[in-house]
Amino acid sequence: MSFAEISSIGEFGLIERIRRAAPSAASLRVGIGDDCAAQAPVPAELLLTTTDMLIEEVHFRRAWTDLHRLGRKSVSVNISDIAAMGGAPKTLFLALGLPSAMTVAEVDEFAAGFLEAAAEYGAVLAGGDTCRSPGPLLICVTAQGAVPEMQLVSRAGAREGEAVYVSGTLGDSALALRMLQKGQTPCAAIAGRHHDPRARTELGRALAEGGIASAMIDVSDGLLADLGHILKASGVGALLDEESLPLSSSFREAFVADPEVLQLALSGGEDYELLFCTPPHKEGEIAALSAALSLPLTRIGEIRPPSEGFSLRHRDGSSRPVGSKGFSHFNAG
């Protein structure tokens, strides 16, 4: 570990350092260190591309996370978008804006987390950009993946009468964030969901390959907002059942102490679970998949005619229409 300032090795030294740490891949004709990465296309597979910016003090605080987990998270949140289309991740591009006080050891720590997570997902770092930032640490990751042409799952395929499912549990990440904002210390399980979320790549591929999901999205803006995106793209309505939301034991404890916490499972965001729709006759396959992946897959509602809009059935049996309740930059939600 070197604690020298980045200026001692310079921009090209830094790129060379990351290049040496990154494994190469046979699919890359040209990798890190040229004007572009060059890759041979995969025949009969669609190229998937997504990009996300993570900005210090907006998306993360360095007081709350270490750089290794931040590196991991910046990979996972991007690859989650690949999973949500049914794809397998292939390549990553990393643009970094580094504050002048950041050390080489800190960049190494971030890069180690980034490369560790990339390897877990079977993706390789293929290029990027490094520059100095006048203030916040800036991270912009672009992920590329592939999906067989007939297996692509968009947001637009949901049909009336289908069931709505979500993987894992909801609200844990938002609960951790709320506790941190209040100066409390979330337990490791909850904190891990916020600082080191896992993209559901195996599930996404299985749902696509088996023709199980008709429409899919990852829960990044919050359940209500993200289901809203599917409904809008598909031109349908939905009835969501509050009672059936999958909640972790830590989340249930917090919910018992303060019922308002339930809003975090509905609108908190950053769950990175997969939310998908499926025809009723596929529900047996979903149970088998859940067992095979040791991952809860929970039916939380159904797709309704567009005329019925989007509503939420409460625990007391009453229903109310859903507004825009997810996380959005620039407004209160």
Site for a copy of itself in 84-103 (CB under 8 A): 84-85, 87, 91, 93-98
Cα separation of 124 and 26, whole Å? 10
Question: Which span (137-145, 239-247, 254-262, 289-297) binds a copy of itself, by CB under 8 A?
Answer: 137-145
Tokens of 263: 């809003």
Which range, of 52-60, 194-202, 239-247, 297-305, touches a copy of itself by CB under 8 A? 52-60
Of 82 and 170, which CB lies nearer to a copy of itself in the complex structure? Answer: 82
Residue with Cβ nearer a copy of itself (27 or 244): 27
Which residue's CB is nearer to a copy of itself, number 101 or number 256?
101
Q: Tell me which stretch binds a copy of itself (CB under 8 A): 152-160, 169-177, 236-244, 280-288.
A: 152-160
At residue 153, the 3 state secondary structure works out as coil
Which is nearer to a copy of itself, 164 or 254 (by Cβ)? 164
Q: What string of DSSP letters covers 208-275?
A: HHTT--SEEEE-SS-HHHHHHHHHHHHT-EEEEEGGG----HHHHHHHHH-GGGHHHHHH------EE
The Cα 78–Cα 91 span in angstroms is 11
Report the SS3 class of residue 2: coil
Q: Which of 99, 136, 148, 296 binds a copy of itself (CB under 8 A)?
A: 136
Q: Which of residues 176-195 bind a copy of itself (CB under 8 A)?
A: none
Of 308, 302, 306, 247, the residue nearest 280 (C-alpha):
302
In this complex, which beta carbon is closest to a copy of itself, that of residue 113 or of residue 128?
128
Residue 53 or 187 having the CB closest to a copy of itself? 53
Residues 105-134 close enough to bind a copy of itself by CB under 8 A: 126-134
Question: Does position 4 bind a copy of itself by CB under 8 A?
Answer: no
CA separation for the pair 39, 284 (Å, rounded): 39
Q: What is the sign of the dihedral through the CA atoms of 236, 241, 247 and 253? A: positive
The answer to whether the Cα torsion of 308, 311, 313, 318 is positive or negative is negative
Nearer to a copy of itself by C-beta: 190 or 231?
A: 231
Q: In Å, what is the CA distance from 185 to each residue of 193, 211, 236, 248?
A: 14, 42, 41, 17
For a copy of itself, give the closer residue by CB, 180 or 247: 180
What is the Cα–Cα distance from 332 to 76, expressed in whole angstroms?
Answer: 26
Is 148 among the residues that bind a copy of itself (CB under 8 A)?
no
Tell whether residue 38 is a contact of a copy of itself (CB under 8 A). Answer: yes
With H, G, I as helix, E, B as strand and everything else as coil, classify residue 87: coil
Q: Which stretch binds a copy of itself (CB under 8 A): 138-146, 185-193, 250-258, 294-302?
A: 138-146
By CB under 8 A, residue 323 contacts a copy of itself: no
How far is it, in rounded angstroms, from Cα 13 to Cα 273?
A: 38
Site for a copy of itself in 290-319 (CB under 8 A): none
**Which one of 19, 25, 45, 244 is in contact with a copy of itself (CB under 8 A)?**
45
